[in-house]
Structure 1
Amino acid sequence: MNILYGVQGTGNGHITRARVLAEALSRRSDIQVDYLFSGREPQQYFDMQIFDEYQTKQGMTFVTHKGRVDRWQTARQLKLRQLIDDVQQLPMGDYDLVINDFEPISAWAAQLRHVPSISISHQACFLSPVPNIGKGMLDNLLLRYFAPTTYNLGVHWYHFGQSILPPFVTDVSQPVAPSGRILVYLPFEELNEIGALLRQFPEQGFDVFHPHLTSDTQQDNIHWYVPCKNAFKHCLQASDGVIGNAGFELSSECLHLGKKLLLKPLHGQFEQLSNVVTLEKMGRCQTMQRLDASAVRRWLTFDSVEPVRFPAKADLLVEWILDENWQDSRELCDALWQQVSFPPDVKQKLAGI
């Protein structure tokens, strides 16, 4: 089977999910996969070895400013003519299937060439009745038409009675000595504002990763890191907790490792606001609507939580893809949820949703 896998490159969550599926796909000799990424500059991708000779396109991304989606600037920077040309010029003749994670070029190219396509993404779960907040008419249009596919397979922390997959969390469970430090990943916030917040807690060490950094530096109680998969993984495993935006993949890893979470959702993005709603229902996060020292001070006193164990390997998903019965995912979803282990308190809370 020849597959084109299109991945949204804005943020690192889509790429993290793609790495897990790429590893499972690479173990099959009867599958050939090409990868296409869009949504960020080519030089900003890192640790991409698993994808071999991937290609990049400009695509479309959302512009943020001071922790909020800037829809006006998003519209201004959209190069619609380039996007249309990329869709029309993308070769599709040899592909049997397109797998898509909210990537518009491969999705629209598949639609126009009548190549079957499957969305395997967190965004796809919001096409089903799951907890959400702040989803307006524009959000509904984006969900349906930004990267449309023939079939949709959503990914979430709970199935809510729908055909939804659990997340795959891999490569994060090796034992690491606890550091007592806090991991901070707030890529949509300003560096000076992050520093001003964290310097109010001189007795607490922080490891901060941010895409605007160009080198690793140490300043008082803060260690600043450029994005790096291995360094991030080590700091995450050793940390006492995580302060972040409300992205899906990092929150999944924190649930899996039993890390306490303090989340500042990206304003203007209903997906992150909805993620907070679900995590609060599960009793697995605290939130702040701005970079709030009092919220950080209170959260630092909290204990760690029991982990939610998610599947580590995507081999069952690959088998389902090869079976080509893509309109029926119930058996696959049931099998994967049997691999999920919820602590008793989370089970009780989910039963009430």
Structure 2
Amino acid sequence: MRILYGVQATGNGHITRARVLLPALQAAGAEVDVLFSGRPRERLFNMEPFGRYTHRRGLTFITEAGRVKWWQTLLQNRPVELMRDIRALDVRGYDLVLSDFEPVTAWAARRAAVPSLGIAHQYAFLYPIPGTGFSPWLKPSIRLFAPVDEAVGLHWSAFNAPILPPMIEPLTGQPSREADKVLVYLPFEARDEVVYWLSGLPKVRFRVYCNVDQPRTVDNVELLPFSRSGFQQDLYTCRGVIANAGFGLCSEAIQAGKNLLVKPLSGQLEQVSNAVVLEQMGLAQVMPRLGLDPIRHWLEQPAANPVPWPNVASTLARWILTGRQVPLEQLSRELWQDTRVPVITPA
């Protein structure tokens, strides 16, 4: 089977999924080409596992100080260039276009009538999910952004729907816990504000991954350039994780048994809903805004227990390569049956 795999690169969670699913597809016998969009090519890092991948501008969103700036987002995105890229992308030689919420490949497949399959956290929101409130525009916008013939949603619970568990790399080895070390990833927040609040807790060593060229230290706060290997090492050895409410990192932290404190990106419904779900499931604490009190309270909590996720990537790869003969509902039931997470249902 020849597959074109489109990956939305706005957030690292999509790329993290691709790092797991791509080798699973190749091991199952597929020939896979990968296309990334949503982030400038020069801002992608540690991309060696993807070989000679393709890049397009795609669509993204603009943030400032922890909030989505919708007007700037509309101005920065270029619909004419997007349409030109969709028309120029020839997908007729592929048996399947696989989209992790990536619009160029999804729309090119729709335009050429090539079979398409979506696998992403965003597709879970085609079903009722806690924290979404009354959002009549949500499902149409998901279908409009990256339309696919069949959509597979990923989440921390099935919510009585054919949703699959998170697709991340299985644990290798036993995570440890350095009592004074906290991993921080808040890319949508103002860096100076992050440093200001964290420096108010001098007994804790905060490892902050952000957009810097070289490591530097401000009091008890270590600022580090983006690095997949360094980040994973800190994740395995830290006491806990402070992050925005993105799906990928939260899934990794939960699996590693790390205490999790999330600050959802204001104006981004996916992250607002993620925070609600995490809090309802008892998997994280939530702070609506940065501050000393919520961080101090979080640091006083007992250590979390690891929650291993099943090997979703290998299961999906086999399912895809055998023609998706098993209904998605059955696949969902089989993957969730041995997963130890609290079961919640949407209101």
CA contact (8 A) 1:182 1:206 kept: yes
Q: Does residue 192 in structure 1 map to residue 169 in structure 2?
A: no
| Counterpart amino acid of residue 144 in structure 1 | R
CA contact (8 A) 1:260 1:304 kept: yes
CA contact (8 A) 1:10 1:61 kept: yes
Against the structure 1 CA distance between its residues 326 and 66, is the aligned structure 2 distance closer, same or farther, given a 3 Å change threshold?
Answer: farther
Q: Does residue 22 in structure 1 map to residue 32 in structure 2?
A: no
CA contact (8 A) 2:182 2:205 kept: yes
Against the structure 1 CA distance between its residues 176 and 331, is the aligned structure 2 distance closer, same or farther, given a 3 Å change threshold?
Answer: closer
Q: What's 1:221 paired with? A: 220
SS in 2 for 1:262: strand
Unaligned runs of 5+ in 2: none
Q: What's 1:58 paired with? A: 57
| Greater Cα offset, 12-21 or 333-342 | 333-342
Matches within 5 A, 1:42-191: 42-134=41-133, 136-170=135-169, 172-180=171-179, 181-191=181-191
Aligned-residue identity in percent: 42
Please report the TM-score for the alignment, with normalisation by the length of structure 2. Answer: 0.95
Q: Does residue 202 in structure 1 map to residue 202 in structure 2?
A: yes
Q: Name the count of aligned residue pairs.
A: 346
Shift of 1:175: 3.0
Displaced runs of 4+ in structure 1, greater than 3 A? 134-141, 350-353
Q: What's 1:36 paired with? A: 35
Q: Deviations over 1:120-161 (max 9, x none)?
A: 000000001222325634444321200011001100111112
Shift of 1:351: 7.5
CA contact (8 A) 1:261 1:285 kept: yes
Shift of 1:218: 2.2
Distance in 2, Cα, partners of 1:278 & 1:128: 14
Distance in 1, Cα, partners of 2:138 & 2:193: 29
Against the structure 1 CA distance between its residues 134 and 192, is the aligned structure 2 distance closer, same or farther, given a 3 Å change threshold?
Answer: farther
Shift of 1:314: 1.7
Against the structure 1 CA distance between its residues 313 and 199, is the aligned structure 2 distance closer, same or farther, given a 3 Å change threshold?
Answer: same
| Greater Cα offset, 102-111 or 292-301 | 292-301
Q: What's 2:291 paired with? A: 292
Q: What's 1:3 paired with? A: 3
Please report the TM-score for the alignment, with normalisation by the length of structure 1. Answer: 0.94
Q: Report the aligned-residue RMSD.
A: 1.7
Distance in 1, Cα, partners of 2:176 & 2:330: 39
Distance in 2, Cα, partners of 1:170 & 1:24: 11
Shift of 1:215: 1.4
Distance in 2, Cα, partners of 1:321 & 1:352: 29
Shift of 1:201: 0.5
Q: What's 1:332 paired with? A: 331
Unaligned runs of 5+ in 1: none
CA contact (8 A) 1:24 1:313 kept: no
Q: What's 2:271 paired with? A: 272
SS in 2 for 1:33: strand
Matches within 5 A, 1:240-259: 240-259=239-258
| Counterpart amino acid of residue 72 in structure 1 | W
| Counterpart amino acid of residue 231 in structure 2 | F
Distance in 2, Cα, partners of 1:87 & 1:166: 31
Shift of 1:171: 5.2
Against the structure 1 CA distance between its residues 27 and 135, is the aligned structure 2 distance closer, same or farther, given a 3 Å change threshold?
Answer: farther
Shift of 1:186: 0.3
Q: Deviations over 1:49-68 (max 9, x none)?
A: 22111111000101011101
CA contact (8 A) 2:175 2:256 kept: no
Q: What's 2:318 paired with? A: 319
Shift of 1:315: 1.6
CA contact (8 A) 1:176 1:234 kept: no
Against the structure 1 CA distance between its residues 338 and 332, is the aligned structure 2 distance closer, same or farther, given a 3 Å change threshold?
Answer: same
Shift of 1:304: 1.4
Distance in 2, Cα, partners of 1:340 & 1:47: 31
Shift of 1:185: 0.4
| Greater Cα offset, 276-285 or 99-108 | 276-285
Shift of 1:23: 1.7
CA contact (8 A) 2:16 2:168 kept: no
Shift of 1:352: 9.7
| Counterpart amino acid of residue 295 in structure 2 | V
Against the structure 1 CA distance between its residues 163 and 41, is the aligned structure 2 distance closer, same or farther, given a 3 Å change threshold?
Answer: same
SS in 2 for 1:165: coil
